[in-house]
Chains A and B, each alone.
Chain A
Amino acid sequence: MSNSEEEKLQTLPLLPIKNSVLFPTLLMPINAGRPASIAAIEAALATEEKELVVFAQRDASIDEPQAGDLYTIGTKAVVKKMARGRGGIEAVLLGVERVVLIKVEQDGTYQRARVRPLPIIEEKSTEIEALHREVIDLATRAVELTQPQAAAGMAQLIASAKEPLRLVYMLAPMFSLELEKEQALLEAATVTDTLRLMHAYLSHELQVLELRSKIASEAQTEMSKEQRDYLLRQQLKAIQKELGGENPEQNELTLLRERVEKADLPEDVRKEVERELGRLERLPPAAPDYNVGRTYLDLVLELPWKTATEDVLDIGRARTVLDEDHYDLREIKDRILEHLGVLKLNPTAKSPILCFVGPPGVGKTSLGQSIARALGRKFERLSLGGLHDEAELRGHRRTYIGAMPGRIIQAIRRAGVNNPVLMLDEVDKIGHDFRGDPAAALLEILDPEQNRTFRDNYIDLPFDLSKIFFITTANTLDTIARPLLDRMELLRLSGYSEEEKVEIAKRYLNPRQIKEAGLQPDHVTLESEALKAIVSLYTREAGVRQLERTIGRVTRKIAVLHAEGKKDPVTVTRDNLAEWLGPRRFSTDQARKQLPAGVATGLAWTETGGDVLYIEATLLPSGRGLTLTGQLGEVMQESARAAQSYIWSHAEELGIDRSLFRRYGVHIHVPAGATPKDGPSAGVTMATALASIYSRFPARVDTAMTGEITLTGLVLPIGGVKEKVLAARRMGMKRVILPRDNEKDLSELPDTVAKEMEFIFADKIEDVLTAAIPQLGKHFSTLEQAAS
């Protein structure tokens, strides 16, 4: 080491710094907190020159670095400014020149470093020139990417650094280079090396930046598309607002969205609804599908997916309600109360599916309403009469124009709960044609195992029908498909007797008609006898509709009197009834006074209740065989033939002259000739008529009969006993001959009727003939005596 170099050696206070490098020509504010650092700065301040040396620590976590913990190349610096801050010294250092560390010595609380200047080799070459320009270029681009708003100022600053070394020193802290890289820049031996290093760093930095900006701009593009859409939509809204108030469609969608959010929907339904709503929001309101979707959502939201009424499980109250609304009908009321009892014990019990069968006007529909009231459920009814398209029940697929949900779903929507009493009226009058059979759809709806997930074609989501209390009504069972019938619990409402009708009129019809006419109850008194007369002389029906209308005629006439100012209370008696209603329309004893031979009284069951019909037989002197007239059906004709065969084959026992069969044909006629008739129950009647005509003994006029016969003379049971007996009584009959097996059905009869009438139960046709034709009876008894 030469002398001149020896002179250049300096010993200065040492300030170790963390995480950065002080470059010559640059200012660096520092915050010294460590005691050693503070002492070093103070030592520098105590000198005339304010000089110290700054070395970077290799490891920032070391608090009291030794010589080995520092880089060996550092910077000589001058303290430009200082001030004492909280617990330390804030100072601004100005880098002066590069130095190399030779030795570190401890001086009290701080260290002093012996350093030798390490001037960088200055040179000029075209390479430096090229690198210099390249670095400026890279740096400018990098700044543009990182700080576009400050790019102009920075670019100016960068361009102003005419000296390559200064440029590098200036750039190093601008980009967050790692400590190692900064230190390498400081240590580089020549300007060329420094520039090369910086160039490499910047290239790498720029690549990273460009990649970053690419990623960012891609994200931005996506964002800005959404933003653009949003902006356009906002503008559209503003324009629409400007053109004419609120945009109804948009508003509607918002409302719809709100409703969807509020609605209590099952999970799968909600998913579907959200999907549909999303689709709707993307559609322009003018699109044809828009309205379809909106109507659909309206419906789905309105359906009571989870709404149900609470059942009133008070049996006493239910009984009161049922009794209030309907007279008698014990069997049906008991069935309802049974169900209530079951529900009380087992709330998840399946609702029964009832079918009320009976003639019109006996109160099937109103009974349904009454049941709903007793259970505390909503009531809905829909008539299936004349329905002939399956889609009416199950709905149309939404793809069809004008598609609608089926009647079932519509009824549920009207009810607003998922457990109403749903009455399907006239289930026996469903039609069917090439469009399908609605009864088949009913099979699913009325099956408790299947209707849990009933899928209407329109809503196309499973709806639980199993909580609905289904009631169907029918006038006759004959036209109902067997599988459908099988699903329903049959409850028969047969016609009412005279007494029952009077009772019903007193309790329900009369008060109702008085109210309808706008009268007060004390304005009108309808005596029981008068009611009885109305029932028997002015009406002829199984139900009470005609009766109610007739009472209505009376009350309206009284209302007219009141309107004219004659306010006296009116009493309607049997005697003055004709003043109100005119001459009587039916006569009790339309029954014939006397029967000639060959006529027998039969009983028929019709959809409107029972009826009495006379079967007439006559011999045809020049005819042959059997002639049947009176619109008789297949079964009835066969039944007539069976009766004839029986009589022919048992002529001996009946005391009939066989020659009659050869000489005469026989004609059987059943009036009224315009009404079609069918069924086997007239078998005994026809046999009686034939026996009467052949034997010339007349049948008893007060005796009606019904029953099917076999060729061997057995009498088989028939249906509709109650209606038939009531009809017989209405017609003034005293005795009724019934098949033995129908004896049990008599319990359905009101006690008064059962007491009044005489019943004969027949096992064989002989029993019938004995009871119906007295002379034949005598003949039989003599035969028996003879036999014995």
Chain B
Amino acid sequence: MNRPAAACLAACIATGTMLTAAAAATVRFRVVDFAGKPIKDAIVYAVPDTPLPPAKPRTAIIDQVNRQFVPQINVVQVGTYVDFPNSDNILHSVYSFSPAKTFVLRLYAGKTEPPVRFNKPGIVVMGCQIHDTMIAWLLVVKTPYFGKTNAAGLLVLHHLRAGRYRMHAWDVSMRKVTASRPLVVTAGGPPRQITFTLKAGRMPRHGPTMPGMSAGMGMQ
């Protein structure tokens, strides 16, 4: 009972904010480590408590340039197609054994392979069969509100509808998304700033372990 009331309140606040601005709110995020150092490329996303209407599928691109995935760290909404073009003049074979999405693209060059649809939330780690150093992370989230921090660890999310959210922050060094906090967005009012302090921030020396594969054989 309480929950609807709180949600309502939060929505009000958010709506109020949005109402005062453009019927939507902007939230500023700052992600730092325990030392207060800003974390770059941390992914922050906000999941509204109220389920959103299904979105139209979109397509994202993870290019392969100079034996690197570009960008390395990605975030998409569930149901998004990701295209893996090969911009190198050598062959790559992209694969993922992550539980969120397991796939193997045969060796190819250029843009011959079809895009891969990620319809399960979770962390997907992709590599190249040929080049072990090529690693790309793709966080699949159930919200359209997400983004990556810049070099200053800052991210600004616009157009957040007023309402209640659960805010999450994740860095590639983290085996799973653990940092979360509630957020009530009200329309109008000054932009809010939320700071996340993450434990992560450093890559393990010999590479990160596979997210979501900590137990059992790694298979869920």
Same complex: no
